[in-house]
Amino acid sequence: MQHEHIAQYQQQIDNHIKKLGGYWRSISALARLNEEVGELGELLLQDRLNIDEIGTEIADIFVISTCIANQYLNYLDEEYTLIGAPVAIRELQNLQQPFPIKDRFILITQRSGKIARIINHYEGDKPKKHSEKPMRLGHEIATLHMQLLFLARDFDLNVFHYIDRVLAHSATRDKDRFDITHDPTTEASRTHFLKAMEHHYAQFLCNAKIWGSYEWDPEASLPDNLRHSLPSFIRFTKCATPEGLDGYVFEFPVTADTPLFEHTILNLAGDSAKTIDDRNQWCFTFQNTEVIATALPYEENDQHTQDRKSDFLYIRLLSSTCPPWE
């Protein structure tokens, strides 16, 4: 059944991916995105167009790009609104912008190229130039979606019908096909943190954009456990400001050596780490990014923390506008 709002489709896609085992690395999703854009181009170059296949390719691109948005916690309803687009499905499927189809495809490749550029900065080997203008995945994905919707309308296609069909087919084809994967938006540490903190900071956490650390391995050493999470934490320091992420949380068992854990994290900062108050907070610089680390929970006597199984180290940007843990 077709949804009424774009946020519902975004949630459906998120649920679908989690059932299949989780998200690939976003740089792998990017490869899939460009693969599908290329296949769409092949279809548009044919002398006799297969409209049904074109609809399927448009849906594939829409779904994959939405997966990337999910991995960076870009909310499509917010992003659509920022570019002046509607969020109701009925309005979206009726969008029109007369344009030659091959020129439209050029605009689609342009947007996918911008997405590739951003992800390469976040996760690839290409460092961002100091002279580059700020770019955000959320904006580029929303703009790509508009071009896909315009193209679908050019062929009188309901892209959301094709999205439903693509997801239904994938649910059968891809069941048990992929290994369980790790992504900072789906890690158990994130879920545990939000649950543990809801009694204290429910109003903030209901909209907070937080990434979580890799699952703790009780058989591994503390340095090895941190090493598992380091790639996503480094990526967080690169993308948190442009993508509007609020924080990154490390989870570790209460049986772990808490001071040693905190000391090991702060060692990453070298001489830049300094205590900023008496409530287990430190300010330090990592990857040229200034952050504040807060040990949580604060209150050992709180009824909600007495039986906890985990402690957390919550890290946010010093420049973040989100409220501190007070």
Q: What is the pLDDT of residues 280-317, one digit of tens each?
A: 677 777 777 888 888 776 444 455 555 667 788 888 88
Q: Are 257 and 311 in contact (CB under 8 A)?
A: no
Nearest-angstrom CA–CA distance, 137 and 124: 15
Alpha carbon 196 to chain centroid distance?
Answer: 22
| The two structure tokens encoding residue 131 | 């002279």
The pLDDT assigned to 124 comes to 86
Tell me the whole-structure pTM to 2 decimals. 0.89
Please list the ranges in the chain whose pLDDT falls under 50: 271, 298-301
Q: What is the pLDDT of residues 157-209, one digit of tens each?
A: 999 999 999 999 876 765 555 556 789 999 999 998 888 877 777 667 767 89
Q: How far is CA 100 from CA 44, 56, 97, 140, 156, in A?
A: 12, 20, 10, 21, 15
Q: How far is CA 112 from CA 68, 73, 215, in A?
A: 12, 18, 32
Q: Is 162 helix (H, G, I), strand (E, B) or coil?
A: helix
